[in-house]
Amino acid sequence: MVRMPQLDDVLDRMHVVALPMRVRFRGITIREVALIEGPAGWGEFGAFLEYEPPEAAHWLASALEAAYEPPPQARRDRIPINATVPAVDAAQVPEVLARFPGARTAKVKVAEPGQTLADDTARVNAVRAIVPTVRVDANGGWSVDEAVAAAAALTADGPLEYLEQPCATVAELAELRRRVEVPIAADESIRKAEDPLRVVREKAADVAVLKVAPLGGVRALLAIAAQIDLPVVVSSALDSAVGIGRGLLAAAALPDLRHACGLGTGGLFAEDVAEPVPPDDGYLSIGPVVPDPARLSALAAPPERRRWWIDRVRACHPLTR
């Protein structure tokens, strides 16, 4: 983790915003994040509200790295991104995909509580009718047997690029990988694990999905990527424009980038802290993101929520050392 600045300096530089979303995603319709304006740029602390300090501290370290440390060297100036399709009804898919002009890859949320495999299949097929390459993300929602059945159903009408975190545990991923031909991608099994390299040792994945904030920053992500012999997909943790900028930087700094990255989630927000930049032919350009002062003011969280985030930073700050 980065060398931490003084707590008072961090709090003096912090803005807390509440970003309305176009559709419910990950169970929320308002995304709260704390933004920190530091000497090196803007950082984002957006650990999800249910995360306790030991886990949330990684997200704070990422924000402070961005705000206080110089960025790593980029190897490319634009990044291919995938469209992100929440667990919407199949009829809503064209509307969602319209927010991702030029995207040739789409990630589709599946295994949503309260929905069925038939719902997932209809959604995936609706996406497949518009976008040539489809990947799905189950967020660990299936057992191994359920994932085997889902893989069969979801590939009946066309291929999948990969199944992202179809099961919750590394052991389950390894078993599933032996039973299906669809490639397996690991997300939570890396970013929420005490040992993020276990998926490699147990041959549990074909692709690694890495997210800047949960791993503690761009440098931490690059360090993990250097130790695994797997293709890397850099993805968003439902970041604001500031966090997306760091994800793009991480993808730009990787020695090799074979897959579209999950960094197009800005289209899920009805309002953001910077003017939205639509993909250009399926790509986003890298570069520093500076929030619009008027947007920071208009999207400011209520005072009681700002106090909540201040308390959260106070709790996490000592754990980032």
Determine which one of 107, 109, 192, 203 is catalytic.
109
CA dist 76 and 145 (Å) reads: 41
What strand order describes the sheet that includes 41-45?
14-25, 28-38, 41-45
φ, ψ for residue 218, nearest 5 deg? -65, -45
What number of CA atoms fall less than 13 Å from residue 287's CA on the CB side? 7
Quickly tell me which residue has 């999800």 as its tokens.
48
Active site residue 211: yes
CA dist 211 and 226 (Å) reads: 15
Active site residue 192: no
194 belongs to an annotated ligand binding site: no
Determine which one of 107, 192, 203, 211 is catalytic.
211
At 90, list the tokens.
């199949």
> What DSSP string runs through 177-209?
HHH-SS-EEESHHHHT-SSTTHHHHTT--SEEE
At 279, list the tokens.
């993909």
At 251, list the tokens.
């993808």
187 belongs to an annotated ligand binding site: yes
- CB-based contacts of 251: which residues, under 8 Å, 6+ apart? 76, 79, 234, 257, 261, 263, 286
137 belongs to an annotated ligand binding site: yes
3-state helix, strand, coil in the chain (%, to 5): 40, 20, 40
Give the H/E segment covering residue 133: strand 133-137
Q: Angle CA(110)–CA(112)–CA(116) in degrees, nearest 5?
A: 80
Binding residues for Mg(2+): 137, 164, 187
Binding residues: 137, 164, 187
Which sequence positions are flagged as catalytic?
109, 211
